[in-house]
Amino acid sequence: MSGSLIPKFAMIDNFLPTESAQALLDHALENAGLFEPAKVVDTGSHEVKAHHRQALATADLGDARSQFTAAVEAHFEYLCKAVGIAPFPIAAWDVEMAAHRDGGFFNEHIDTKTAANRDQHIGDRMISMVYYLHRPEVAFTGGDLLLKPYLGNAEAVRITPEHNRLVAFPSIARHQVETVHVPGDAWQDARFSINCWLLRSSGDQA
């Protein structure tokens, strides 16, 4: 299978200064009450579908949110080039902090909105990003991100969660989160991440 059918992606380790990464992790660890069952969008509705995704999520990233978004903006042109998308005016951001506890997963999907759910958004998701956070003493296993080929059965790209690692890929790429295993299921041992999507106005052309 041609390598061109494998989604292009960027991976940046030590994406944020140590203090900023720690501030985001501390926010997650100290605010479990902010997290609610994560929802998915399907045929226009935004709802919890536990058979498809099991995670907890919040839109509240705390005071360090601005440091995260500033870092993304600083890397924007590089990220576009790395994932094979021409730079575009960012019409909107979708951002959430997620926690995968024991048994958490996200089945194969794409992030681009289509058909019935496209008109409800200010633009089209173009670039998807996952930024990983967890304690140094890793207590979970699993939770790898799999990027699937656009066509055929070529082997998926497997990306392991590492603290302060950012991964970016085209939102149209099929991907999934493998099941997370957290012995004891303690909150502080969860696989935390920031999921971020950059949107281009639906009227803009590539």
Q: Where are the domains of the chain?
A: 3-201
Predicted confidence at residue 1, as pLDDT, reads 37
Residue 159 contacts by C-beta under 8 Å, 6 or more apart in sequence?
Answer: 9, 11, 144, 145, 146, 147, 167
Tokens, residue 54: 């099991």
Predicted confidence at residue 51, as pLDDT, reads 82
What string of DSSP letters covers 103-123? T-EEEEE--S--GGGGGGSSE
Predicted confidence at residue 126, as pLDDT, reads 97
| CB burial of residue 123 (10 Å; 0-12, 13-18, 19+) | buried
Predicted confidence at residue 15, as pLDDT, reads 98
Predicted confidence at residue 2, as pLDDT, reads 44
Tokens, residue 194: 């920031």
Fold of 3-201: Jelly Rolls (2.60.120)
Predicted confidence at residue 206, as pLDDT, reads 47
pLDDT in tens, the chain (206 residues): 345 688 999 999 999 999 999 999 999 999 999 999 998 875 555 677 778 999 999 999 999 999 999 999 999 999 999 999 999 999 999 999 999 999 999 999 999 976 555 555 679 999 999 999 999 999 999 999 999 999 888 899 999 999 999 999 999 999 999 999 999 999 999 999 999 999 999 766 54
Residue 36 to residue 50: CA distance in whole angstroms: 12
142 SS3 class: strand
